[in-house]
A = this chain, B = another copy of it.
C-alpha cells in the first residue's frame, strides 16, 4: 500500500498513519519531498481496506498495490488452466469450444431437437436453463429438475456435454448427476454463499460476469470458488450495462484479452446476452474469437419465434451451422482451431 499525505499534513498525522500501517504488518518507508510525504508499505499484511486510509486525517490518497486475488491471478498458473471434461473435451486449450442451445428447456421434443441441431452444427456442449432467473415473478420460471433429466437424455444421445445454470445452494446436490458444468448467472456473480458452496463440488463451473461488475470483481468472485478447492473454473463475458440502448447490453469484448492477461482461467464469450439481438450474434461471435476467447456460449432454438424466453437473441439452427463454419475459418488466424462436427451415427 502507498499513502500520499497532504502537503499540509502534520507530523502527528503522519505518525498516526505509519502506526496503523505497522499494526497491519507493513514495513513502512517514508519519503519526504518538498511538497508532500509519501509512505510506502511493503510486506505481506493481513486483510485491510484501503478506503479506511483514504479518510484518515492528513491523507491525500491511498492506493492498494497488490491485488486481492491470489489463486485467480495469472502468476498462480502461468501456463493457463485447462478444464478436461468426461468425454475428453478440453476448455482452455488450443481448441475454441462452442456451446449452444435454447435459453430454457421447454419440453422433451424441443430439447431433443436442439441437441441434434447443436451437435450437427459442430458444438460440443448443450446449454439450456432449467432454473430460470427472471426479472418478473410472472415470467416462465423453468422446468426444474425434470428439465435437467430430459436435457441429460438429449445430450447423451448426441454426445454432448450439459452446461446449465444453478441459482441456489439447495439445487447443487440434485443437479450433480445430470450436468457436466454449473453456470453461475450474472445476477448471482456476487451471491457469495452460492460461490463458496461451488468451491466444494467436484464439477466444473462457468462464472458469468455481472452486468455492473468490474474485471477485478469477477476475479474476486472467482477466488471464492478457487479457495474452496475447485479449480475447474472458466469465466464468461456476457455484456455490461451502459447508457446505450441499441443493444441489450454492451458486450465488452476487450474484457476477453484483459482477463486472459490477468488470470490463468479460460474465458468464454456469450454474445447472445451481450447484444440481445439475433442478427448481431454472428458478428460478435467472430469478434470474440478474434479477440482470444477460449469458447462461446450461445443461444439457439429450433424455433426462436416460439421460444418461451430469449427468442429474440436465439439463432435459428441454420444460422448456427453457418456461423460455426465461419468460426472454423477464422480460428487459425489467431492460432486456434474449432473441432470438426461429429459424424452423427443415426443422422
How many angstroms from the CA of A136 to the CA of B33 in the assembled complex?
Answer: 24
Contact of A212 among B138, B243, B280 (CB under 8 A): B243
Q: Say if the beta carbon of A84 comes within 8 Å of chain B.
A: no
Which residues of B are found within 8 Å of A51, using beta-carbon distances? 248, 276, 311-313
CB contacts under 8 Å to B, within A204-236, are 210-212, 214-217, 220-221, 223-224, 227
Q: Are B274 and A254 in contact (CB under 8 A)?
A: yes
Query: With A42-B36, A139-B47, A244-B252 known to touch, is A168 a contact of B167 (CB < 8 Å)?
Result: no
Q: Are A220 and B135 in contact (CB under 8 A)?
A: yes
Which residues of B are found within 8 Å of A27, using beta-carbon distances? 33
Q: Which partner residue on chain B sits nearest A249 by CB separation?
A: B254
Q: Say if the beta carbon of A288 comes within 8 Å of chain B.
A: yes
Contact of A60 among B38, B65, B210 (CB under 8 A): B65
Q: Say if the beta carbon of A291 comes within 8 Å of chain B.
A: yes
How many angstroms from the CA of A286 to the CA of B291 in the assembled complex?
Answer: 7
Q: Say if the beta carbon of A164 comes within 8 Å of chain B.
A: no
Q: Are A244 and B253 in contact (CB under 8 A)?
A: no
Q: Which partner residue on chain B sits nearest A29 by CB separation?
A: B31
Q: Are A52 and B214 in contact (CB under 8 A)?
A: no
Which residues of B are found within 8 Å of A167, using beta-carbon distances? 191-193
Contact of A312 among B52, B240, B280 (CB under 8 A): B52
Which residues of B are found within 8 Å of A157, using beta-carbon distances? none
Q: Are A257 and B280 in contact (CB under 8 A)?
A: yes
Q: Say if the beta carbon of A284 comes within 8 Å of chain B.
A: yes
Which residues of B are found within 8 Å of A133, using beta-carbon distances? 190, 192
Q: Which partner residue on chain B sits nearest A199 by CB separation?
A: B137
Q: Are B279 and A290 in contact (CB under 8 A)?
A: no
Q: Say if the beta carbon of A275 comes within 8 Å of chain B.
A: yes
Q: Which partner residue on chain B sits nearest A328 by CB separation?
A: B333
5 A–B pairs (Cβ distance < 8 Å), ordered by A: A31-B42, A55-B279, A60-B65, A256-B283, A287-B290
Q: Which residues of A contact B (CB under 8 A)?
A: 2, 4, 7, 20, 27, 29, 31-36, 38, 40, 42-44, 47, 49, 51-52, 54-56, 60-61, 63, 65-66, 68-69, 75, 133-140, 167-170, 187-188, 190-193, 196, 210-212, 214-217, 220-221, 223-224, 227, 240-248, 250-258, 261, 274-280, 283-284, 286-292, 305, 307, 309-313, 326, 329-330, 332-334
Which A-B residue pairs are the 5 nearest by beta carbons? Answer: A33-B42, A212-B212, A287-B287, A29-B31, A286-B290
